[in-house]
Structure 1
Amino acid sequence: MTDHSPAAAPSSRLAALFLLLLLETGLIITWSAGFIGVRFASDHAPIFLILLWRSLVSGLLLLPLALTWGPGLRWRHVIPQMLYGALAMSGYLAGFALAIGFGVPTGLVALITDMLPLAVAVLSWPILGQALNGRQWLGSLIGFAGVLIASAHSLTLGTVPLWAYGLPVLGTLSLAVATLLQKRSPTIAMPVHQSLCIQCLSAAAIFSVFAGYEGSVLPVMNAGFIGGVLWLALVATLGSWTLYYMALRRSSPARVTSVVYLSPPVTMIWAWLMFGEPLSLSMAIGLFVSLAGVIIVARAQPKTGVQGHG
């Protein structure tokens, strides 16, 4: 018998909030794992070859599931997902990868790409007709300050073409636009495994062009490359993007993207655990400042923002 008592609604909201927190925790861990995978694989192959096989393996793993489980795929639903793949995956990943390739310091690239919540905030009004309130803006700025504190030690400006610094900005804006378009689009009802499959294969097609320009699209047959690609495909792609879209369906773009602020400090913890890289006091302080910003954004979220969509 269904409980229609007043206590049932708060209990349901609490369960939805708990699920969202679990999704966001997993998102932080798996999003950060991408940097670890690139570290493994980048010693064995060019960056676009890694991105090509990361996307292709992910898409092929999802393809049988996408074709057999869920509603039938129709072009009017597939084409928008191809666009999102070009924006959210190809644009974002290629933006920071190219910047690093041209010599932009990795720490600075991480800072720019983690301005995603601010990019979402700026673009929410023209795309969704929504604007962040004062507390959400404050939380976003505090989160960004935490990233500055945690990563400042790694920032050194080298001899790099000035325009190369705009590449991670374009990549971040690309992901922000894709995030907001998916929130607005009626095709958001497509199951995550289907949309992610289409987006991965679309990104792979685009990365194949760049990989071919770099030299070859054939995989490098050694343990370092294969292990790195599998890590990137299973954890950093299937794990993080699935959690990203699942969380997006249960909350607002502002809240979900705000947790990305925790990825640089968490990546530093990953590196400390896996490679013995030292942790500094500034990293620890930055981690807590970023967490404070995320909490402010989350607590400023309207009650209707946390809900389950099945």
Structure 2
Amino acid sequence: MSRGRSNLAVSTAFVVLWSSGFVGAELGTRFTVADTLLAWRYAIAAAVLWLVTLVRRTRIPRGAIGRQGLLGSLSQVLYLGGVVTGVGLGVPAGTAALVAALQPLVVATAAGPVLGEHTTPRQRIGLAGGLVGVGLVVAGDLGPGDAPWWAFVLPVGGMLALSAGTLLQGRLRPPESPLVAVTLQTSIAAVLFGAVAVGAGDVAPPADPGFWGAIAWVVVLSSFGGYGSYLLVLRRSGATRVSTLLYLTPPTTMAWTFVMFGEVPVVLAAPGLALCALGVWLVLGTPRRRTAEPAHGANCRTPGASWGT
């Protein structure tokens, strides 16, 4: 398979698998609270990943625990904790999705001074158009809901944490393989989410066997698939591009929920999907300008000039 087709396949898998997390959250919270779902999701995922790592005798580089612990705290613990807790407190899912959709704009703005990834006018138009498209897709679920005002700070904080984690990953260019990175990040998330669940008295799993089906969904598709493909796209194509692909997750989630739960999209979803796709094409189809090489240039690949390279 050519590099262009390989990148396209990984990017497509990332969008589909990242979107599966929102479906898994809805499946899991039908049986229990978010604390319990997150604690068991990460505990099981960490156990499986460590088993694979030990069987393959994968070496953990010096300093990897500190690097990946920090990245996992930002990209998994604070991101998911902020978004899921905010929704649990009454923030509408559409509003949380729209807040999360600000992440590509934040990353693109900061990627210039932090990573040397500067956007062109065409890309900035694409980023703005993608955000409008996401707004149309989730239009039927926007509003203040029943949440207290401070609950809206949580999704914003989660979005900023994921942005910081994405930029830091691009800046550090850690030498760990995707397997080691996901294993260590999942482990720190398991410890932190487990501590929260124990403190809240929510660690006991429900008796309903459907809960374990939801756990299998989020472990395999979301933890292994979603975060694994996220790291691959980030390393191959850079922070701006992996963030831009997140614009496609709300319409993809919409398709998931229609097929699985019969949730009919709003009328504005179709033009919103078109705008999301157009925005992503404008950003990813544009060659990027780099003004500086990363500090660890000898250990990293230079991303291709376009999505298909």
TM over 0.5: yes
Tell me the residue number matched to 1:5.
none
Name the aligned partner's letter for residue 251 of structure 1: S
How many residues get paired?
294
Q: Is the 8 A contact 2:35 2:202 kept in 1?
A: no
Tell me the residue number matched to 1:176.
163
Tell me the residue number matched to 2:152.
165
Deviation at 1:70, TM superposition (A): 6.4
Find 1:152's aligned residue among 139, 142, 147: 139
Deviation at 1:213, TM superposition (A): 2.8
Offset from partner CA, 1:192-250 (integer Å, 9 cap, x none):
01110110110111111221232132322321211101100000111111111111111
Tell me the residue number matched to 1:203.
189
| Pairs within 5 Å for 1:248-287 | 248-287=234-273
Q: Is the 8 A contact 2:123 2:286 kept in 1?
A: yes
Q: Is the 8 A contact 1:89 1:203 kept in 2?
A: yes
Tell me the residue number matched to 1:306.
304
Find 1:242's aligned residue among 212, 228, 249: 228
Deviation at 1:36, TM superposition (A): 1.3
Task: Please state whether the residue corresponding to 1:249 is helix, strand or coil.
Answer: helix
Task: Please state whether the residue corresponding to 2:268 is helix, strand or coil.
Answer: helix
Deviates more, 1:206-215 or 1:90-99: 206-215
Q: Runs (4+) of structure 1 moved beyond 6 Å?
A: none
Greater percentage in helix: 1
Residue 113 in structure 1 maps to residue 100 in structure 2? yes
Name the aligned partner's letter for residue 214 of structure 1: A
Deviates more, 1:68-77 or 1:138-147: 68-77
Tell me the distance in 2 between the aligned counterparts of 1:100 and 1:279.
Answer: 20
Q: 1:263 to 1:165 in 2, by over 3 A?
A: same
| Pairs within 5 Å for 1:85-124 | 85-124=72-111
Deviation at 1:292, TM superposition (A): 0.4
Find 2:176's aligned residue among 190, 210, 214: 190
TM-score where L is the length of structure 1:
0.89
Deviates more, 1:177-186 or 1:214-223: 214-223
Q: Is the 8 A contact 1:87 1:178 kept in 2?
A: yes
Tell me the residue number matched to 1:30.
17
Q: Could you tell me which runs of 5 or more consecutive residues in structure 1 were left unpaired when the two chains were aligned.
A: 1-13
Task: Please state whether the residue corresponding to 1:89 is helix, strand or coil.
Answer: helix
Offset from partner CA, 1:41-86 (integer Å, 9 cap, x none):
1121110110111112111111122234365214412211011111
| Pairs within 5 Å for 1:15-26 | 15-26=2-13
Task: Please state whether the residue corresponding to 1:281 is helix, strand or coil.
Answer: coil
| Pairs within 5 Å for 1:127-146 | 127-146=114-133
Q: Could you tell me which runs of 5 or more consecutive residues in structure 2 were left unpaired when the two chains were aligned.
A: 290-301
Name the aligned partner's letter for residue 261 of structure 1: Y
Offset from partner CA, 1:107-136 (integer Å, 9 cap, x none):
100111122111211322343244322222
TM-score where L is the length of structure 2:
0.89
Tell me the distance in 1 between the aligned counterparts of 2:31 and 2:21.
Answer: 16
Deviation at 1:178, TM superposition (A): 0.9
Tell me the distance in 1 between the aligned counterparts of 2:4 and 2:280.
Answer: 15
| Pairs within 5 Å for 1:288-307 | 288-302=274-288, 305-306=303-304
Tell me the distance in 1 between the aligned counterparts of 2:11 and 2:116.
Answer: 25
Q: Is the 8 A contact 1:113 1:168 kept in 2?
A: yes
